[in-house]
Structure 1
């Protein structure tokens, strides 16, 4: 940012407060329209105020930098993120959450046709063998789309290190590629997920005659130690204390109690609970339908305490569910 100028001075020749410099000026109608849009999505007044503060800062920076609206693009947002801000108590770069709110504002302006539309990122074409493998995961193994997408992302991380031509794979290339990925990965969990996806891919290649057999055995197993992460299960008395800790008088307590009882009594996965719909519950037969691995639907008996907790959650005050979802977020946007 430029240093203070005469326009930034009070009548007594002292600098004005930094917040007074955050003036959207002629772009104030855009700010007000963005506020109405945010309120329509279900954000609380406090959240709307926070979002508008970031957007106002961005508009003030545009005005002081002499940047027109038709010049706004990803590079302009990046410049704003890197600018040496003097509107705070101490000069510092703005944070990522701040930039995310500005990015949301710019996207709203693009949707309204105020600024140029953002270029659509070109998705690189999948290799034929990779595309065939992903299709086989859906048709033959019946994996969920989200699982298939995750396998595709994990494989995309290792292919640049081992090459895209399956005929050139060897145990040494496989091991060296995975070790190199493990040294540069951003998470301790990624090597294990990448190895799992690569193992499935190599088996598919061998089955189709596109790669050497038994190459999946060259994929090293990621080391793990007991007690190095969260416990794999809770003792029964701990589970009961956790369930009892839910406040039945609070909206969140009723929801959390129903979720915990379904997890504990029926052994459901988190996704089973998150995707539960009202139509999946048969109150007359006291059963619920869940879609297990392989997309096979099964009906499970609904225990009395879990059923009572569901009734308490569904009949009490709760956010509206637009798609008949049983469990919804208590924070906007709901669903």
Structure 2
């Protein structure tokens, strides 16, 4: 792609030079460290010189132009050569109206209409969270790109579906194949119901069964939870944040995604309660215990970045500041385990611990289901099998061979 500006004589000066001071101010506002700020300004100056050499103005920055610049920078630099590295500058230029908003986003994949409709269905009808929507769309996109016959989706056969699942199993873990099959089955059913397919192909999706060593929820002991909390250094910003998050997981049984989804406006300090944005877009109010509320307040007042545009309660500690994702919450728990010298486990083990504690306290299963916000009573019933000692009292003696039954 040859890039020559339409008005090179008018842009003899490096076109971004006049914006350097404003961008530096924006980086400081976002909380970039001096080291990161220098890197961003160096990248900006390189882009400015590159535009100047081609006689291009700032307004002529497009996705295509940016891709060419990054490709050339990648050949001569060892760092900051991706779209992500350039995103803070592009976003600031777009917000300021100096470049088109489209230029601040990487080139979008052109999905077929049926996949776009399926994405809207997942988001609107199924009300899945965005991370789940994108994960499912990505798997369906891989299927459509690799296994759609030349005649289009309407000519898809059961053999094509089976081949896709068998190919998916090559070099991938069974859990990955199972997720692929689940999403593919959902997509094929959707296509049949909306008329994209004239026959139901869901029967061609193979059932992938994973080995289940135990169906019992497994938690951790109260002593282990305390060790985990003690490993959070509350004299640091990271420690204050991690301590509050572990308390939410352990004392209230929140899911990782629910902790990540907690917003500032969800906390009602006056009434001592907060809103939980749960699975399936179900919002529920829960009481905020003093211990948990004090930890959250300590973090918000003394450790959380002062970012007016950031509404998530828990955020990253390094700029650019942004809310945490569900995988990030899991990673924080795993790191806390390592600091405590414990065998690492995930955030859900803390939720199971609360369920086990309520079983030991002889809380009725219906009440446990309410606290943990289970949709299905069968899920709660699993906790009835945790107290093995009490279950042994229900066991009947095995009749000896030859004895009357």
* TM-score between both structures, scaled by the size of structure 1: 0.69
Partner SS, residue 316 of structure 2: coil
Residue 82 (structure 1) shift: 1.6
Distance 1:244 1:202, change over 3 A: same
Q: Is the contact between residue 123 and residue 129 of structure 2 (CA under 8 Å) also seen in structure 1?
A: yes
Residue 257 (structure 1) shift: 0.6
Distance 1:68 1:81, change over 3 A: farther
> Is residue 2:34 matched to residue 1:45?
yes
Match of 2:274 in 1: 288
Instruction: Measure the CA separation in 1 of the matches of 2:15 and 2:121.
Output: 56
Distance 1:211 1:330, change over 3 A: same
Residue 274 (structure 1) shift: 1.9
Distance 1:103 1:39, change over 3 A: same
Match of 1:89 in 2: none
Partner SS, residue 286 of structure 2: strand
Instruction: Measure the CA separation in 2 of the matches of 1:290 and 1:178.
Output: 37
**Matches for 1:184-333 after TM superposition, within 5 Å:** 191-208=177-194, 210-213=197-200, 215-216=202-203, 218-219=205-206, 221=208, 235-236=220-221, 237-283=223-269, 286-322=272-308, 323-333=310-320
Residue 176 (structure 1) shift: 1.5
Match of 2:379 in 1: none
Instruction: Measure the CA separation in 1 of the matches of 2:211 and 2:54.
Output: 53
Partner SS, residue 276 of structure 2: strand
Query: Which runs of 5 or more structure 2 residues have no equivalent in the other structure?
Result: 1-12, 323-405
Residue 214 (structure 1) shift: 5.7
Partner SS, residue 161 of structure 1: helix
Match of 2:73 in 1: 80
Residue 260 (structure 1) shift: 0.8
Distance 1:51 1:183, change over 3 A: farther
Instruction: Measure the CA separation in 2 of the matches of 1:140 and 1:201.
Output: 14
Match of 1:144 in 2: 129
Residue 173 (structure 1) shift: 0.9
Distance 1:54 1:127, change over 3 A: closer
Q: Which deviates further from its counterpart, 319-328 or 98-107? A: 98-107
Partner SS, residue 294 of structure 1: helix
Q: Is the contact between residue 55 and residue 101 of structure 1 (CA under 8 Å) also seen in structure 2?
A: no
Distance 1:56 1:140, change over 3 A: closer
Instruction: Measure the CA separation in 2 of the matches of 1:99 and 1:276.
Output: 29
Residue 208 (structure 1) shift: 4.8
Instruction: Measure the CA separation in 2 of the matches of 1:249 and 1:333.
Output: 23
Residues 64-107 of structure 1 deviation map (CA, whole Å, 9 limit, x = unaligned): xx443448722133122224xxxxxxxxx523557754565567
Paired residues, number: 294
Residues 235-264 of structure 1 deviation map (CA, whole Å, 9 limit, x = unaligned): 234333111111222222122111111112
Query: Which runs of 5 or more structure 1 residues have no equivalent in the other structure?
Result: 1-23, 84-92, 227-231
**Matches for 1:85-104 after TM superposition, within 5 Å:** 93-95=77-79, 100-101=84-85
Partner SS, residue 280 of structure 2: coil
Match of 1:334 in 2: 321
Residue 50 (structure 1) shift: 2.0
Residue 61 (structure 1) shift: 6.6
Match of 1:154 in 2: 139
Instruction: Measure the CA separation in 1 of the matches of 2:235 and 2:164.
Output: 54
Instruction: Measure the CA separation in 2 of the matches of 1:259 and 1:46.
Output: 29
Q: Is the contact between residue 138 and residue 148 of structure 1 (CA under 8 Å) also seen in structure 2?
A: yes
Instruction: Measure the CA separation in 2 of the matches of 1:102 and 1:124.
Output: 23
> Is residue 2:55 matched to residue 1:68?
yes
Q: Is the contact between residue 155 and residue 198 of structure 1 (CA under 8 Å) also seen in structure 2?
A: yes
Residue 332 (structure 1) shift: 2.4
Distance 1:113 1:174, change over 3 A: same
Instruction: Measure the CA separation in 2 of the matches of 1:279 and 1:293.
Output: 19
Partner SS, residue 249 of structure 1: coil
Residue 43 (structure 1) shift: 1.7
